[in-house]
Structure 1
Amino acid sequence: MQTSNTRLNAALAAIDAANSEDPNRVAVDGVETPAELAYGRRMSAMLARVYPHAPESLQLAARAQHIRRWQIPRSSYPMDRPGYLRWRKELGRKHAEWAGEILASCGYDAEETARVGSLLRKENLRRDPETQALEDVAALVFLAHYAEDFAAKHPPEKVVSILVKTLAKMSEHGKEAAGTLELPPSVGDALTRAIAQATAT
Protein backbone atom coordinates (compact mmCIF):
# COMPACT_ATOMS: atom_id res chain seq x y z
CA MET A 1 0.00 0.00 0.00
CA GLN A 2 1.31 3.43 -0.90
CA THR A 3 2.15 5.86 1.87
CA SER A 4 0.65 9.34 1.73
CA ASN A 5 4.06 10.82 0.91
CA THR A 6 4.58 8.34 -1.93
CA ARG A 7 1.16 9.13 -3.37
CA LEU A 8 1.76 12.85 -3.09
CA ASN A 9 5.13 12.69 -4.82
CA ALA A 10 3.68 10.49 -7.59
CA ALA A 11 0.78 12.90 -8.13
CA LEU A 12 3.01 15.97 -8.20
CA ALA A 13 5.30 14.27 -10.70
CA ALA A 14 2.32 13.35 -12.88
CA ILE A 15 0.99 16.91 -12.78
CA ASP A 16 4.45 18.15 -13.77
CA ALA A 17 4.53 15.64 -16.63
CA ALA A 18 1.19 16.96 -17.91
CA ASN A 19 2.37 20.55 -17.69
CA SER A 20 5.65 19.69 -19.39
CA GLU A 21 3.62 19.34 -22.60
CA ASP A 22 2.93 23.08 -22.65
CA PRO A 23 4.25 24.43 -25.96
CA ASN A 24 4.70 27.89 -24.44
CA ARG A 25 8.05 28.62 -22.82
CA VAL A 26 9.38 30.95 -20.14
CA ALA A 27 12.94 31.47 -18.92
CA VAL A 28 13.62 30.16 -15.41
CA ASP A 29 17.14 30.94 -14.23
CA GLY A 30 18.16 31.24 -17.85
CA VAL A 31 16.65 27.88 -18.87
CA GLU A 32 13.71 27.62 -21.27
CA THR A 33 10.92 25.84 -19.38
CA PRO A 34 7.32 24.91 -20.26
CA ALA A 35 5.27 27.82 -18.94
CA GLU A 36 2.74 25.89 -16.90
CA LEU A 37 5.41 23.59 -15.47
CA ALA A 38 7.17 26.70 -14.17
CA TYR A 39 3.89 28.09 -12.87
CA GLY A 40 3.00 24.93 -10.96
CA ARG A 41 6.38 24.76 -9.31
CA ARG A 42 6.20 28.44 -8.40
CA MET A 43 2.80 27.81 -6.80
CA SER A 44 4.23 24.98 -4.72
CA ALA A 45 7.21 27.06 -3.64
CA MET A 46 5.00 29.99 -2.62
CA LEU A 47 2.60 27.71 -0.76
CA ALA A 48 5.50 26.22 1.20
CA ARG A 49 6.69 29.73 2.05
CA VAL A 50 3.37 31.26 3.08
CA TYR A 51 1.41 28.22 4.29
CA PRO A 52 4.16 25.79 5.39
CA HIS A 53 1.69 23.42 7.07
CA ALA A 54 -0.69 23.15 4.12
CA PRO A 55 -2.63 19.88 3.96
CA GLU A 56 -2.10 17.43 1.13
CA SER A 57 -5.23 18.55 -0.70
CA LEU A 58 -3.97 22.11 -0.86
CA GLN A 59 -0.49 21.03 -1.96
CA LEU A 60 -2.05 19.12 -4.86
CA ALA A 61 -4.41 21.94 -5.83
CA ALA A 62 -1.57 24.47 -5.83
CA ARG A 63 0.51 22.37 -8.21
CA ALA A 64 -2.50 21.70 -10.47
CA GLN A 65 -3.80 25.29 -10.42
CA HIS A 66 -3.06 25.75 -14.15
CA ILE A 67 -2.85 22.15 -15.30
CA ARG A 68 -3.04 22.00 -19.12
CA ARG A 69 -4.35 25.59 -19.19
CA TRP A 70 -3.00 26.17 -22.69
CA GLN A 71 -5.61 23.74 -24.03
CA ILE A 72 -8.38 26.28 -23.33
CA PRO A 73 -7.01 29.61 -24.59
CA ARG A 74 -8.68 32.87 -23.62
CA SER A 75 -9.26 33.54 -27.31
CA SER A 76 -11.68 30.61 -27.47
CA TYR A 77 -14.28 32.75 -25.66
CA PRO A 78 -15.65 36.23 -26.46
CA MET A 79 -13.22 38.97 -25.43
CA ASP A 80 -15.64 40.67 -23.04
CA ARG A 81 -16.47 40.36 -19.36
CA PRO A 82 -19.11 37.61 -19.77
CA GLY A 83 -16.71 35.72 -22.03
CA TYR A 84 -13.95 36.04 -19.46
CA LEU A 85 -16.18 34.71 -16.68
CA ARG A 86 -17.29 31.76 -18.82
CA TRP A 87 -13.65 31.02 -19.64
CA ARG A 88 -12.63 31.07 -15.98
CA LYS A 89 -15.50 28.79 -15.00
CA GLU A 90 -14.63 26.29 -17.72
CA LEU A 91 -10.97 26.39 -16.70
CA GLY A 92 -11.87 25.54 -13.12
CA ARG A 93 -14.02 22.65 -14.27
CA LYS A 94 -11.36 21.24 -16.58
CA HIS A 95 -8.53 21.72 -14.10
CA ALA A 96 -10.55 19.72 -11.57
CA GLU A 97 -11.29 17.03 -14.16
CA TRP A 98 -7.69 16.69 -15.37
CA ALA A 99 -6.26 16.73 -11.86
CA GLY A 100 -8.90 14.23 -10.75
CA GLU A 101 -7.81 11.73 -13.40
CA ILE A 102 -4.22 11.98 -12.18
CA LEU A 103 -5.15 11.66 -8.52
CA ALA A 104 -7.29 8.59 -9.17
CA SER A 105 -4.40 6.96 -11.02
CA CYS A 106 -2.15 7.66 -8.02
CA GLY A 107 -4.44 5.99 -5.51
CA TYR A 108 -6.54 8.86 -4.15
CA ASP A 109 -10.14 7.98 -3.39
CA ALA A 110 -13.26 9.77 -4.64
CA GLU A 111 -13.58 11.98 -1.54
CA GLU A 112 -9.96 13.13 -1.70
CA THR A 113 -10.22 13.79 -5.43
CA ALA A 114 -13.45 15.73 -4.98
CA ARG A 115 -11.83 17.90 -2.33
CA VAL A 116 -9.00 18.92 -4.66
CA GLY A 117 -11.55 19.56 -7.40
CA SER A 118 -13.51 21.86 -5.12
CA LEU A 119 -10.37 23.86 -4.41
CA LEU A 120 -9.51 24.15 -8.09
CA ARG A 121 -13.02 25.42 -8.84
CA LYS A 122 -12.49 27.99 -6.05
CA GLU A 123 -15.67 26.97 -4.29
CA ASN A 124 -16.62 28.72 -1.04
CA LEU A 125 -13.93 31.37 -1.37
CA ARG A 126 -13.74 33.40 1.86
CA ARG A 127 -15.58 30.68 3.81
CA ASP A 128 -13.16 27.83 3.11
CA PRO A 129 -9.67 28.50 4.54
CA GLU A 130 -7.98 26.20 2.01
CA THR A 131 -9.70 27.82 -0.97
CA GLN A 132 -8.71 31.22 0.40
CA ALA A 133 -5.13 30.06 0.86
CA LEU A 134 -5.02 28.88 -2.76
CA GLU A 135 -6.30 32.27 -3.90
CA ASP A 136 -3.66 34.00 -1.78
CA VAL A 137 -0.87 31.90 -3.24
CA ALA A 138 -2.05 32.52 -6.81
CA ALA A 139 -2.06 36.27 -6.16
CA LEU A 140 1.40 36.17 -4.61
CA VAL A 141 2.82 34.17 -7.53
CA PHE A 142 1.36 36.74 -9.90
CA LEU A 143 3.01 39.57 -7.97
CA ALA A 144 6.35 37.80 -7.67
CA HIS A 145 6.69 36.41 -11.19
CA TYR A 146 4.20 37.90 -13.65
CA ALA A 147 3.17 41.40 -12.59
CA GLU A 148 6.33 43.02 -13.98
CA ASP A 149 5.57 41.85 -17.53
CA PHE A 150 1.94 42.90 -17.08
CA ALA A 151 3.02 46.35 -15.87
CA ALA A 152 5.26 46.79 -18.92
CA LYS A 153 2.29 46.31 -21.25
CA HIS A 154 -0.30 48.49 -19.51
CA PRO A 155 -0.56 52.08 -18.24
CA PRO A 156 0.13 52.59 -14.52
CA GLU A 157 -3.50 53.25 -13.64
CA LYS A 158 -4.54 49.96 -15.20
CA VAL A 159 -1.90 48.13 -13.19
CA VAL A 160 -3.03 49.76 -9.95
CA SER A 161 -6.65 48.92 -10.75
CA ILE A 162 -5.78 45.24 -11.28
CA LEU A 163 -3.81 45.13 -8.03
CA VAL A 164 -6.70 46.69 -6.10
CA LYS A 165 -8.90 43.84 -7.36
CA THR A 166 -6.19 41.32 -6.52
CA LEU A 167 -5.88 42.61 -2.96
CA ALA A 168 -9.64 42.46 -2.51
CA LYS A 169 -9.54 38.69 -3.02
CA MET A 170 -6.72 38.11 -0.54
CA SER A 171 -6.84 37.34 3.17
CA GLU A 172 -5.03 39.50 5.71
CA HIS A 173 -2.34 36.82 5.94
CA GLY A 174 -1.93 36.91 2.18
CA LYS A 175 -1.66 40.69 2.16
CA GLU A 176 1.00 40.56 4.88
CA ALA A 177 2.94 38.03 2.80
CA ALA A 178 2.73 40.38 -0.20
CA GLY A 179 4.57 42.97 1.85
CA THR A 180 7.52 40.59 2.28
CA LEU A 181 8.05 40.01 -1.45
CA GLU A 182 11.04 41.57 -3.19
CA LEU A 183 9.32 43.29 -6.10
CA PRO A 184 10.68 45.37 -8.98
CA PRO A 185 9.96 49.11 -8.64
CA SER A 186 7.19 49.12 -11.26
CA VAL A 187 5.26 46.50 -9.28
CA GLY A 188 6.20 47.66 -5.80
CA ASP A 189 5.12 51.25 -6.50
CA ALA A 190 1.82 50.09 -8.04
CA LEU A 191 1.20 47.78 -5.08
CA THR A 192 1.80 50.64 -2.63
CA ARG A 193 -0.72 52.79 -4.51
CA ALA A 194 -3.19 49.90 -4.68
CA ILE A 195 -2.95 49.34 -0.92
CA ALA A 196 -3.53 53.05 -0.32
CA GLN A 197 -6.61 53.00 -2.56
CA ALA A 198 -7.96 49.83 -0.97
CA THR A 199 -7.46 51.29 2.51
CA ALA A 200 -9.20 54.52 1.58
CA THR A 201 -12.37 52.81 0.33
Structure 2
Amino acid sequence: MPAPQRVTPEALVSAIREISEREGVDAVTMSSVAAAVGVRAPSLYKRAANRHDLLRLAADDAVAELTADIAARAARTNDPREILAGTARALRALASRSPHITTLLFCAPAPQSGPSPDSLVPIMTDLLTAVSAIAPDDPLSAARTLTAWAYGFCTMEQNGGFRQGGDVDAAFERGLEIVLRGLAA
Protein backbone atom coordinates (compact mmCIF):
# COMPACT_ATOMS: atom_id res chain seq x y z
CA MET A 1 0.00 0.00 0.00
CA PRO A 2 1.52 3.37 -1.02
CA ALA A 3 2.15 6.03 1.60
CA PRO A 4 -0.43 8.81 1.65
CA GLN A 5 0.52 11.93 -0.26
CA ARG A 6 1.54 14.83 1.93
CA VAL A 7 0.15 18.23 1.09
CA THR A 8 2.26 21.26 1.84
CA PRO A 9 0.56 24.36 3.23
CA GLU A 10 1.64 26.23 0.08
CA ALA A 11 0.06 23.63 -2.22
CA LEU A 12 -3.12 23.68 -0.19
CA VAL A 13 -3.43 27.47 -0.28
CA SER A 14 -2.57 27.54 -3.96
CA ALA A 15 -5.34 25.05 -4.71
CA ILE A 16 -7.87 27.03 -2.68
CA ARG A 17 -6.95 30.25 -4.44
CA GLU A 18 -7.03 28.63 -7.89
CA ILE A 19 -10.46 27.11 -7.32
CA SER A 20 -11.74 30.43 -5.95
CA GLU A 21 -10.51 32.44 -8.90
CA ARG A 22 -11.59 29.92 -11.51
CA GLU A 23 -15.00 28.95 -10.13
CA GLY A 24 -15.78 31.38 -7.31
CA VAL A 25 -15.48 31.14 -3.54
CA ASP A 26 -18.61 28.99 -3.31
CA ALA A 27 -16.79 26.26 -5.25
CA VAL A 28 -14.23 25.84 -2.45
CA THR A 29 -15.25 22.70 -0.60
CA MET A 30 -13.31 20.06 1.26
CA SER A 31 -13.92 17.71 -1.69
CA SER A 32 -12.90 20.16 -4.42
CA VAL A 33 -9.70 21.14 -2.63
CA ALA A 34 -8.83 17.54 -1.81
CA ALA A 35 -9.26 16.57 -5.47
CA ALA A 36 -7.09 19.51 -6.55
CA VAL A 37 -4.21 18.46 -4.28
CA GLY A 38 -4.60 14.75 -4.95
CA VAL A 39 -5.80 13.48 -1.58
CA ARG A 40 -9.08 12.34 -0.09
CA ALA A 41 -11.16 14.93 1.76
CA PRO A 42 -10.57 13.40 5.23
CA SER A 43 -6.84 14.08 4.77
CA LEU A 44 -7.54 17.82 4.80
CA TYR A 45 -8.90 17.72 8.34
CA LYS A 46 -5.31 17.78 9.57
CA ARG A 47 -5.07 21.34 8.24
CA ALA A 48 -8.65 22.61 8.22
CA ALA A 49 -11.69 21.54 10.22
CA ASN A 50 -14.14 22.78 7.60
CA ARG A 51 -14.70 24.88 4.50
CA HIS A 52 -14.46 28.11 6.50
CA ASP A 53 -10.99 27.13 7.68
CA LEU A 54 -9.95 26.53 4.07
CA LEU A 55 -11.18 29.97 3.07
CA ARG A 56 -9.41 31.54 6.05
CA LEU A 57 -6.13 29.97 4.90
CA ALA A 58 -6.55 31.67 1.54
CA ALA A 59 -7.66 34.96 3.12
CA ASP A 60 -4.63 34.98 5.42
CA ASP A 61 -2.41 34.27 2.43
CA ALA A 62 -3.93 37.21 0.56
CA VAL A 63 -3.40 39.44 3.60
CA ALA A 64 0.26 38.38 3.72
CA GLU A 65 0.59 39.17 0.02
CA LEU A 66 -1.06 42.56 0.51
CA THR A 67 1.07 43.29 3.58
CA ALA A 68 4.27 42.58 1.65
CA ASP A 69 3.16 44.78 -1.26
CA ILE A 70 2.24 47.66 1.07
CA ALA A 71 5.52 47.30 2.97
CA ALA A 72 7.53 47.41 -0.26
CA ARG A 73 5.70 50.56 -1.36
CA ALA A 74 6.02 52.18 2.07
CA ALA A 75 9.77 51.46 2.17
CA ARG A 76 10.22 53.98 -0.64
CA THR A 77 8.73 56.94 1.26
CA ASN A 78 8.04 58.49 4.64
CA ASP A 79 5.20 60.61 3.29
CA PRO A 80 1.95 59.39 4.91
CA ARG A 81 -0.11 60.43 1.87
CA GLU A 82 2.12 58.33 -0.38
CA ILE A 83 1.90 55.41 2.04
CA LEU A 84 -1.90 55.62 1.98
CA ALA A 85 -1.93 55.98 -1.80
CA GLY A 86 0.37 52.96 -2.02
CA THR A 87 -1.97 51.02 0.23
CA ALA A 88 -4.93 51.76 -2.05
CA ARG A 89 -2.88 50.87 -5.13
CA ALA A 90 -1.71 47.62 -3.53
CA LEU A 91 -5.32 46.69 -2.76
CA ARG A 92 -6.29 47.44 -6.35
CA ALA A 93 -3.43 45.30 -7.64
CA LEU A 94 -4.48 42.40 -5.41
CA ALA A 95 -8.11 42.77 -6.49
CA SER A 96 -7.01 42.70 -10.12
CA ARG A 97 -4.97 39.50 -9.62
CA SER A 98 -7.33 37.76 -7.21
CA PRO A 99 -10.80 39.34 -7.18
CA HIS A 100 -12.58 36.43 -5.47
CA ILE A 101 -9.97 36.03 -2.76
CA THR A 102 -9.93 39.79 -2.19
CA THR A 103 -13.64 39.55 -1.48
CA LEU A 104 -12.80 37.35 1.51
CA LEU A 105 -10.94 40.26 3.07
CA PHE A 106 -14.08 42.39 3.28
CA CYS A 107 -17.14 40.24 2.52
CA ALA A 108 -16.39 36.67 3.57
CA PRO A 109 -19.39 34.32 3.57
CA ALA A 110 -18.96 33.92 7.34
CA PRO A 111 -16.71 35.65 9.89
CA GLN A 112 -14.57 32.54 10.30
CA SER A 113 -13.94 32.52 6.52
CA GLY A 114 -12.28 35.92 6.54
CA PRO A 115 -8.74 36.73 7.55
CA SER A 116 -7.70 35.94 11.09
CA PRO A 117 -7.48 39.04 13.27
CA ASP A 118 -3.78 38.43 13.90
CA SER A 119 -3.00 38.50 10.18
CA LEU A 120 -4.55 41.97 9.91
CA VAL A 121 -2.50 43.58 12.69
CA PRO A 122 0.46 44.69 10.51
CA ILE A 123 -1.78 46.26 7.86
CA MET A 124 -4.01 47.97 10.41
CA THR A 125 -1.03 49.28 12.35
CA ASP A 126 0.61 50.75 9.26
CA LEU A 127 -2.67 52.11 7.92
CA LEU A 128 -3.62 53.79 11.21
CA THR A 129 -0.12 55.18 11.69
CA ALA A 130 -0.13 56.78 8.23
CA VAL A 131 -3.69 58.03 8.44
CA SER A 132 -3.07 59.49 11.92
CA ALA A 133 -0.49 61.81 10.38
CA ILE A 134 -3.06 63.38 8.05
CA ALA A 135 -6.29 62.89 10.05
CA PRO A 136 -5.21 62.91 13.71
CA ASP A 137 -8.68 63.69 15.11
CA ASP A 138 -10.32 60.46 13.94
CA PRO A 139 -7.86 58.09 12.25
CA LEU A 140 -10.08 55.01 12.43
CA SER A 141 -12.92 56.70 10.52
CA ALA A 142 -10.42 58.06 8.01
CA ALA A 143 -8.88 54.61 7.50
CA ARG A 144 -12.34 53.11 7.04
CA THR A 145 -13.22 55.78 4.48
CA LEU A 146 -10.10 55.16 2.43
CA THR A 147 -10.53 51.39 2.60
CA ALA A 148 -14.22 51.53 1.69
CA TRP A 149 -13.56 53.82 -1.27
CA ALA A 150 -10.65 51.71 -2.57
CA TYR A 151 -12.48 48.40 -2.17
CA GLY A 152 -15.66 49.83 -3.66
CA PHE A 153 -13.73 51.10 -6.68
CA CYS A 154 -12.06 47.71 -7.10
CA THR A 155 -15.37 45.88 -6.82
CA MET A 156 -17.01 48.08 -9.44
CA GLU A 157 -13.98 47.70 -11.71
CA GLN A 158 -13.98 43.90 -11.40
CA ASN A 159 -17.73 43.71 -12.00
CA GLY A 160 -17.64 45.87 -15.13
CA GLY A 161 -19.27 48.83 -13.39
CA PHE A 162 -17.34 51.45 -15.35
CA ARG A 163 -19.00 51.27 -18.76
CA GLN A 164 -19.07 54.97 -19.52
CA GLY A 165 -15.70 54.97 -21.21
CA GLY A 166 -12.75 57.04 -20.18
CA ASP A 167 -9.53 56.03 -18.50
CA VAL A 168 -10.30 53.92 -15.43
CA ASP A 169 -6.69 54.15 -14.21
CA ALA A 170 -6.89 57.94 -14.32
CA ALA A 171 -10.26 57.83 -12.56
CA PHE A 172 -8.75 55.70 -9.78
CA GLU A 173 -5.88 58.14 -9.30
CA ARG A 174 -8.23 61.15 -9.37
CA GLY A 175 -10.59 59.53 -6.87
CA LEU A 176 -7.68 58.59 -4.63
CA GLU A 177 -6.45 62.18 -4.64
CA ILE A 178 -9.94 63.44 -3.76
CA VAL A 179 -10.28 60.96 -0.89
CA LEU A 180 -6.83 61.79 0.49
CA ARG A 181 -7.55 65.52 0.34
CA GLY A 182 -10.87 64.93 2.06
CA LEU A 183 -9.26 62.95 4.84
CA ALA A 184 -6.82 65.76 5.50
CA ALA A 185 -9.53 68.45 5.52
Q: Name the TM tier (shorter chain).
A: 0.3 to 0.5
Using structure 2 for the length normalisation, give the TM-score: 0.33
Using structure 1 for the length normalisation, give the TM-score: 0.31
Q: Relative contact order, CA 8 A, sep 6+: which one is greater?
A: 2
